[in-house]
Amino acid sequence: NPSGIYGLSQMARAALDDSRESVSTVLGCSAREVIFTSGGTESDNMAIKGVSIALKEFGDHIITTQIEHHAVLHTCRQLETMGFDVTYLPVDEFGMINIDQLSASINERTTLVSVMLANNEIGTVMPIREISDVVKKRSVDLGVKILFHTDAVQGAGYLDINVENLGVDLMSL
């Protein structure tokens, strides 16, 4: 128990803190922003459900793509049973979303956009920074808070996963 007061507990706390610091350096965020989960599915669930439920009083609209990992798609489908409206953007023959269609899909009820960094089946790498810029601009234009999540599980170790460079609010690894 890293929250205990005994010796082994304090060693566990130090190991967690050191790990959080190392990960935050790679991600370009503060150590307090790093949350460890059991894996990518739990991370996606926590990010998507957490934001959607926390911001439900401000809006009930989520945008994602039709080719997300099942961890994202199943979470969104579950949220639909709870009254959320989810837009599943189609992709072209290369697995890319249409940025103009994304922008047009964002409305005053949108609170979350979730687009994976790299697709685990076809290898498409989404232009996350460009998507982030569109989400942020529409957020300002509409005067609403819209957060941007990316599932970067397949991109870690291969692509830039610095949150500042990508412009994401939440990232699952």
Residue 46 is predicted with a pLDDT of 97
pLDDT tens figures, 134-164: 999 999 999 999 999 999 999 999 999 999 9
114 close to 80: Cβ distance less than 8 angstroms: no
DSSP classification of residue 156: T
With H, G, I as helix, E, B as strand and everything else as coil, classify residue 123: coil
127 close to 76: Cβ distance less than 8 angstroms: no
Q: List all residues 6 or more positions away from 48 whose beta carbon is below 8 Å from its beta carbon.
A: 62, 72, 75, 76, 79, 112, 114, 149
Mean pLDDT of 1-19: 89
- In this prediction, residue 3 has a pLDDT band, given cuts at 50, 70 and 90, of confident
- In this prediction, residue 95 has a pLDDT band, given cuts at 50, 70 and 90, of very high
Report the candidate in 23, 100, 57, 105 with the shortest Cα–Cα distance to residue 114: 105
Longest dimension (CA), the chain: 57
Amino acid letter, 109: R
DSSP classification of residue 33: G
Name the pTM for this structure.
Answer: 0.93
